[in-house]
Amino acid sequence: MITIKEIAKQLNMSTTTVSNVIHGKTGEVSDETKKIVQDFLDKVDYVPNINARNLAQNESKIIGLALKARADKYENLIMDPFVSELIGGVEETIRNAGYFMMLYISSDTVEIMRHVSTWNVDGLILFGMLNDDGIRVSEKYKKPIVCIDTYSIEGLKHFTNVGLDDEQGTYDMVNYLISQGHRKIAFLSDNTNGVDFARLSGYKKALSDAGIKYSEADFLKIRPRSEDLEDSLNEICKRAKDFTAIMCVSDLYAVTLMAALTDRGIRVPEDISIAGFDDNMLGQLHRPALTTVHQDVKKKGILAADTLLKQLRGEKTPNQLLLPTRLIIRDSVAKVDG
Amino acid sequence: MITIKEIAKQLNMSTTTVSNVIHGKTGEVSDETKKIVQDFLDKVDYVPNINARNLAQNESKIIGLALKARADKYENLIMDPFVSELIGGVEETIRNAGYFMMLYISSDTVEIMRHVSTWNVDGLILFGMLNDDGIRVSEKYKKPIVCIDTYSIEGLKHFTNVGLDDEQGTYDMVNYLISQGHRKIAFLSDNTNGVDFARLSGYKKALSDAGIKYSEADFLKIRPRSEDLEDSLNEICKRAKDFTAIMCVSDLYAVTLMAALTDRGIRVPEDISIAGFDDNMLGQLHRPALTTVHQDVKKKGILAADTLLKQLRGEKTPNQLLLPTRLIIRDSVAKVDG
DNA sequence: TTGTACGCGTTATCAA
DNA sequence: TTGATAACGCGTACAA
């Protein structure tokens, strides 16, 4: 690891000159010395010490991607195709902009905040934060923050949110189910916060618009922890006969449910129709292929990173960006007699 | 961002004392001042500036995880459950050891090398490198390197490899297929390098041990690029009738194939048996559930990170670590008449 | 056009 | 037990 100082010494010139050449401040230096330095740099394959540079400039060129995992989902988080696709989109965008990505996964907001400030990241992308977590972080660090899929009206004063029109997505899908003759439609999820709340709302709205009454019993709660999963699947499958269709909050749950139903001799879509949300590999490869709500996850990641990059350049950005959804009709939903 | 200097000023003492308390050099400082400083630190929530620390100590506390993507697979790489699980294992281990992970994805080795040297990472975990890529990187940077799933005898002189007994895995599975009466067994993959080569070898070995002749025609080549995928699936399905079983090089391909077969009215396992390799979510959730070779991917990531960490502490480690495989018998393989 | 000198925040050495 | 000061490598005013 050769340093500027060392180069200057060997070339018998000052560090300033070398530094100027490195940064292309070409007006400040004669063509001759410029060439000498440039050649030497190439020869020794000079790479600046990033720590020194960051220290001197008080910036890091690092964008932190912090994923907050719910404690009960931690083991699965990184395996969720949704998460990997998101990471892919973010990483690519950050890299192409000459920044670096530091990935941090934790279920503890405080831990995440420590990490952020330790590295003095230039900006932060947050995923999985509950409503006020993002606010807490943004109040402490005055760096630009972009949240992904965070529902918090209050938060939008503090950070940009990149999200999805979740409510519209389930609204459209449930309307489709209704158009296929379904009236007894359940909703399956593991919680009712944030994204799940929005998707639940769309479902309820569609029911209500069609004059179908919603009752608590129509909410099927799945428990994702591996110890509980089988039990909760059991309960859900038992109650499946009360419905002709189940709107699942994610493809993962939809496919998990289809497998469980199949194992119990309940046929999809002949005995019951299943709809998902996300449109990932899981649903595409399952048979029957999953009818689902499409969202472009990679684009979400790209958009989040792009927005943050804009903010770092001082450009103004809207404080909320919503991506559209789209229905993907495949084979897991059947037509029934109303 | 409060600094040590500032703290020292406010407390009317020297930076040395503050620094000593921070680092628990408790022998060097009186209990009284220690308490004063400690209380103050808690109050102001001091977080060290990592750039300054790294500069002073000439280390970075960063471990780079570089994923090299094959150009034709790039779009899928990050969505592969295998990759996400690996990242999860590595990230967790690195974080728990007080290090940080910088993720870098590229299909260009030179680009990866630049990145590594820019950040002066303390160590490097490489995945997806072809045989001599790892050697090139390790020759240039004298930092510890751990490769994952790299097949290169020569390379083991330069770095540690964490891998899997791939050959044994397919060997066991194909033996199982044979025990179920199968004699016409194809092998499906998209290439014959590295891991795929080893898995192919195990397959051939099992055939050979059972006195079954292998011919080129038994190798079914799938083309993963999305433009080609459908075509190659078509060809493969046409040739499926020549076999009673297909040993797939991954769960992803096994499930992709099962979906394609189902779409063409070919039943699994009644008409043809399918075996996979990896044992991930895809095969677990498919119906029929996939009979496959299990590997513990997260453990692989953990092991790679742990090994690197050991090397950073100066401990000696073996230059090759092979994880075992295990057969998972589910429902995609049927018994046939020999 | 080139060079000197200082600051960035931390750690380490050595003196008090 | 504490404090002053010199590194670490880079960037940049400012001086020459």
Residues of chain A in contact with residue B286, where contact means CB-CB under 8 angstroms, are 259, 285-287
A60 contacts B49? CB cut-off 8 A: no
- Which one of B47, B263, B285 has the shortest CB-CB distance to A118? B47
Tens-digit pLDDT profile for residues B60-119: 888 999 988 766 554 555 567 788 889 889 999 998 888 888 888 887 887 777 777 777
- Which one of A83, A114, A115 has the shortest CB-CB distance to B84? A83
Residues B199 and B152 in one domain: no
Query: What's the token pair of residue B255?
Result: 């499930």
pLDDT value at position B131? 63
Question: Does residue A57 lie in a domain region?
Answer: no
pLDDT exceeds 80 at position B13: yes
Query: What's the token pair of residue A319?
Result: 């404080």
Residue with token string 């570089």: B66
A120 contacts B1? CB cut-off 8 A: yes
pLDDT value at position B72? 59
Question: Does residue B291 lie in a domain region?
Answer: yes
Considering only residues 30 to 49 of chain B, which have any Cβ-Cβ distance to chain A shorter than 8 Å?
47-49
pLDDT value at position A73? 58
Question: Does residue A211 lie in a domain region?
Answer: yes
Residues B270 and B122 in one domain: no
Cα A232 to Cα A234: distance, rounded to the nearest angstrom: 5
Residues A144 and A183 in one domain: no
Question: Does residue A33 lie in a domain region?
Answer: yes
Domain boundary among B295, B310, B332: B295
Q: A271: domain range? A: 166-295
Alpha-carbon torsion A187, A181, A234, A277, what sign? negative
pLDDT grade for B304, boundaries at 50, 70 and 90: very high
Average pLDDT over residues B203-215: 98
pLDDT value at position B47? 82
Tens-digit pLDDT profile for residues B121-145: 888 899 987 667 767 777 777 788 9
Residues B73 and B150 in one domain: yes
Residue A310 or B59, more confident: A310
pLDDT grade for B241, boundaries at 50, 70 and 90: very high
Percent of the residues in chain A that have a pLDDT greater than 90, as a whole number:
53
pLDDT exceeds 80 at position A118: no
CATH number of the domain residue B99 falls in: 3.40.50.2300
The conformation of residue A222, written as its DSSP 8-state character, comes to P
* Greatest CA separation for chain B: 88
- Which one of A47, A91, A280 has the shortest CB-CB distance to B103? A91
Question: Does residue A13 lie in a domain region?
Answer: yes
Question: Does residue B330 lie in a domain region?
Answer: no
Query: What's the token pair of residue B214?
Result: 């292998």
Residue B56 CB contacts under 8 Å (≥ 6 apart), including other chains: none
pLDDT value at position A177? 98
Residues A279 and A238 in one domain: yes
Cα B62 to Cα A21: distance, rounded to the nearest angstrom: 29
Residues B317 and B289 in one domain: no
Residue A27 or A234, more confident: A234
Chain D: bases < 7 Å from a protein Cβ: 1-14
Residues A291 and A301 in one domain: no
pLDDT value at position B159? 87
Question: Does residue B94 lie in a domain region?
Answer: yes
Residues B79 and B102 in one domain: yes
Residue A25 or A147, more confident: A147
pLDDT exceeds 90 at position A324: yes
pLDDT value at position B79? 65
Query: What's the token pair of residue B314?
Result: 């100066």
Read off φ and ψ for residue B203, nearest 5 degrees: -60, -50
Strand nucleotide closest to residue A17 (CA to C1'): C2
A19 touches strand D (CB under 7 A): yes
Residues A13 and A91 in one domain: no
Tens-digit pLDDT profile for residues A143-185: 888 999 998 878 788 889 999 999 999 999 999 999 999 999 9
Tens-digit pLDDT profile for residues B283-295: 999 999 999 999 9
pLDDT exceeds 60 at position A77: no
B81 contacts A79? CB cut-off 8 A: yes
Q: How far is CA A10 from CA A3, A6, A13, in A?
A: 11, 6, 8
pLDDT grade for B266, boundaries at 50, 70 and 90: very high
Average pLDDT over residues B279-283: 92
Residue A284 or A23, more confident: A284
Residues of chain B in contact with residue A256, where contact means CB-CB under 8 angstroms, are 285
Cα B210 to Cα B178: distance, rounded to the nearest angstrom: 8
Cα A189 to Cα A232: distance, rounded to the nearest angstrom: 11
Residues B302 and B157 in one domain: yes
Question: Does residue B187 lie in a domain region?
Answer: yes
Average pLDDT over residues A12-41: 83
Mean pLDDT highest for which of A37-51, A85-99, B13-27, B183-197?
A: B183-197
Q: Average pLDDT, whole number, for chain B?
A: 89
pTM to 2 decimal places: 0.88
A286 contacts B285? CB cut-off 8 A: yes
Please tell me the total count of domains within chain B.
Answer: 3
Treating both helix axes as pointing N-terminal to C-terminal, what angle do A81-96 and A297-312 enclose, rounded to 10 degrees? 40
B88 contacts A79? CB cut-off 8 A: yes
Q: Report the Cα–Cα distance between both ends of chain A, in Å, rounded.
A: 74
Residues B130 and B181 in one domain: no
Residues A38 and A152 in one domain: no
Average pLDDT over residues A248-272: 97
B97 touches chain A (CB under 8 A): no
Quote the minimal CA–CA distance from B64 to chain A in Å.
10
